[in-house]
Structure formats: C-alpha cells, structure tokens
C-alpha cells in the first residue's frame, strides 16, 4: 500500500520533472554557454513553488518534508543540470535551514518569504583564500563597534555570490579565540563596503554563479548577527549533515542520469558488427555502476531516517558524502569511457556530466577531510 508520504513525494517528483522539461531544458545550453544562469530564473522557480519546500506555510512555502527538498536536487542532477542543483542546494537546502533553525522570528520573517518567491537570492560564505575545509582558520573579522559590527575580509568560491541579495558570512568576532571566536552574520549585499569580484571560471558547472566576495568596513546592525556570538563554528557543524546529505542526493541523481544516457547510447551504437551493449565488458561495467548506485541509495536512505530523527552525526555525514560522491566520480568516468571519442566532445551531454561531477569530492568538505572525520571516530585523534 502506498502511503500519503510516498504519494506526496511522487506528486512533487512529477511536478519537478515537468518543470525541468518546460522551463530549464530549452534554456540550459545557453546558460552554460553564457557561464551564468539569469537571476530572473530564481523567481520562476519561486512561482513554481519549488524553493524552500520544507519551510513553514507562514512564509509562503509548501510545508512539505525533507524527502521532497532532497528529491528536487536529485531530479535536477539526473536531468544533467548539476549547476542548477548546486545553486538550489545552497539557497534552499543550506541557507534557509540556517535562518529557520538559528534565527529569530524577526529574522525569519524578514528573509524567508523573499527566499520562497525567489526575489531574494542567498549565498553561504565560509571559504576564504587561505581557509577552505579548515573553518577554524578564518581571517575575516567582524569587530563590535557600539551597537554595530564592522566586517572586513574576503571569501572565495561562493556559489550564488554574484546574484546574492543576502549572504550568510562566517567571521571572527574574537580573533584570539580560534573556533570559539567565530560568529555568523546575515549580510545585506546592498550595504556600503560589500563588493563582488569577477565570476570565477570553472572546469564544470559553468552556469553556476561562483564568485569572490569582499567586505571593506561593512557596518552591520546588531540584528544581522545570526544566533549567538561565538557559536558560529558550532552552528556550522550542526548544519553540515544536511548540506552533505544534499551532496549525496546530487550524486545519486547524477549517476542515475549518466547511467541512463550510457545505456541508451550503447544499445544503439554498433561496433564490430554488433551493439556495444552486447559486449560483456559493457554489460559488466554497467552492472557494476548499477550495483554501486543501489548500495549508495540504501546508505542515503539510512541516513535520511537518522536525520529525520535528529540522530545524524558529523561522522555519519562524512560517511555518506564520501561514499556517494566517490561512487559518482567512478561511475561517470566509466560511463564516458563507454561513449568512446564521442564522450569527449561537448556535443554529447555525458561530457558535461563528467565535468560537473568532479567538484563533488571537493566542496562541502573534501574526501580527504571526510576520511579524517571518519578515522577520528575509529581511532580518535
């Protein structure tokens, strides 16, 4: 018997698939060519009701559940729109929960409704030129001055950085306290002293908006502080599981999409008088991908249940991100190989799948950091 939960999930899945077919497919190649998705598309997503779907109705959201929010990213990636999923993940799956879970009611009412409609685009600014996965090494500072904070510093590799109307920024409020001196701020990008560097060009996810941000004596009101002063690092650790689950769901969707593209290709392509799909090597490679995909699907489902019960740990998140994204890279690499020379051409979408996947084992915590986190759970520091 199908539960109402499953019916809701499939209803949203049908909706997002239609949306991608009608609103994204006709334009995506142009966005990739332009190396930027137009900002207006955020409001198109908002009008379709696919932004912040698991937030409360009082903010104009659908008030559905985490499964739907994750599925949307999965379907974007399965269709080959990984860059879109990355920007969506930051805005709807990361920044929104930060505000909803940590912010005051006043802050929620100020930002979430606009985020639901897409009139407000958001970004998360943690990474710096000299501090990537090591968030305790941040150099950006927000020093108290009367009733305000004065923010100085820079951030790099910031998804949605060009289009962002508001950026959640991690900065040191006590530069002498290490990780305990980090705080979070909601920075209105219209404030004097905020500026955006040129768009960062990447090997993949070309239409994803990625930029360097600069803060020069940006004066922030006291109510720009998100949560409590000095607890920013703790908040980031608390929110990382959901961020890494998002990466895992993207990996599943992207691999599923690559596998379908490849299966379609090898059943049509003829070599040495027979379809490529009839060669044992082809069949075994595709079988291996399918098996790894199923294993990772089961792993994600396990941790989705733990997350729903507020039991998912940072170590759990490291396990699921490492397993799924490394699987994604292996799978897409094998899929491209089965296309032969055609796979290396821009004409065939599998080449974009290959390029877009590569960053998955780097952002949101590199694979090396994931293994270190897991190792600490096994043998300690």
Angle at 221 between CA 216 and CA 225, to 5 degrees: 95
Please, are residues 65 and 54 in contact by the beta-carbon 8 Å criterion?
A: yes
Residues 307, 313, 318, 321, Cα dihedral to 10°: 0
Please, are residues 139 and 172 in contact by the beta-carbon 8 Å criterion?
A: yes
Phi, psi of 364 (to 5 degrees): 60, 25
Residues 60, 65, 71, 72, Cα dihedral to 10°: 0
The verdict on whether 243 is a catalytic residue reads yes
SS3 state of residue 292: helix
Residue 141 CB coordination number (10 Å): 17
Please, are residues 136 and 127 in contact by the beta-carbon 8 Å criterion?
A: no
Instruction: From the candidates 74, 75, 128, 243, give the one annotated as an active-site residue.
Output: 243
Please, are residues 156 and 128 in contact by the beta-carbon 8 Å criterion?
A: yes
**Which residues are annotated as catalytic?**
243
């Amino acid at each position: 018997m199908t539960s109402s939960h499953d019916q809701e999930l499939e209803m949203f899945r049908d909706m997002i698939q239609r949306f991608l077919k009608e609103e994204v497919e006709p334009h995506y190649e142009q966005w990739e060519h332009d190396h930027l998705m137009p900002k207006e598309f955020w409001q198109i997503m908002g009008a379709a009701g696919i932004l912040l779907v698991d937030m409360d109705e009082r903010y104009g959201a659908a008030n559905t559940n985490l499964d739907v929010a994750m599925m949307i990213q999965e379907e974007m990636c399965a269709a080959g729109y990984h860059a879109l999923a990355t920007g969506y993940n930051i805005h709807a799956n990361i920044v929104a929960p930060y505000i909803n879970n940590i912010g005051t009611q006043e802050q929620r009412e100020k930002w979430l409704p606009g985020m639901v409609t897409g009139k407000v685009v958001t970004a998360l600014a943690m990474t710096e030129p000299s501090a990537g996965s090591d968030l305790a090494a941040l150099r950006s500072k927000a020093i108290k001055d009367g009733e305000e904070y004065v923010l100085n510093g820079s951030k790099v590799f910031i998804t949605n950085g060009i289009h962002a109307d508001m950026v959640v920024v991690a900065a040191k409020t006590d530069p002498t306290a290490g990780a305990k001196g980090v705080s979070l701020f909601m920075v209105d990008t219209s404030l004097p002293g905020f500026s955006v560097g040129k768009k960062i060009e990447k090997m993949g996810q070309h239409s994803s908006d990625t930029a360097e941000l600069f803060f020069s004596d940006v004066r922030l009101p006291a109510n720009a502080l998100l949560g409590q002063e000095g607890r920013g690092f703790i908040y980031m650790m608390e929110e990382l599981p959901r961020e890494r689950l998002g990466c895992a769901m993207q990996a599943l969707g992207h691999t599923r999409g690559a596998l379908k593209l490849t299966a379609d290709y090898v059943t049509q392509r003829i070599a040495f008088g027979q379809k490529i799909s009839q060669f044992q090597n082809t069949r075994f490679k595709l079988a291996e991908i399918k098996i790894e995909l199923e294993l990772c699907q089961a792993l994600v489902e396990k941790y989705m249940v733990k997350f729903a019960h507020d039991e998912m740990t940072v170590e759990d998140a490291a396990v699921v991100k490492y397993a799924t994204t490394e699987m994604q890279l292996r799978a897409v690499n094998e899929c491209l190989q089965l296309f032969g020379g055609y796979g290396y051409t821009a004409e065939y979408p599998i080449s974009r799948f290959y390029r877009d996947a590569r960053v998955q084992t780097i952002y949101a915590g590199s694979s090396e950091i994931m293994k270190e986190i897991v190792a600490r759970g096994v043998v300690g520091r």
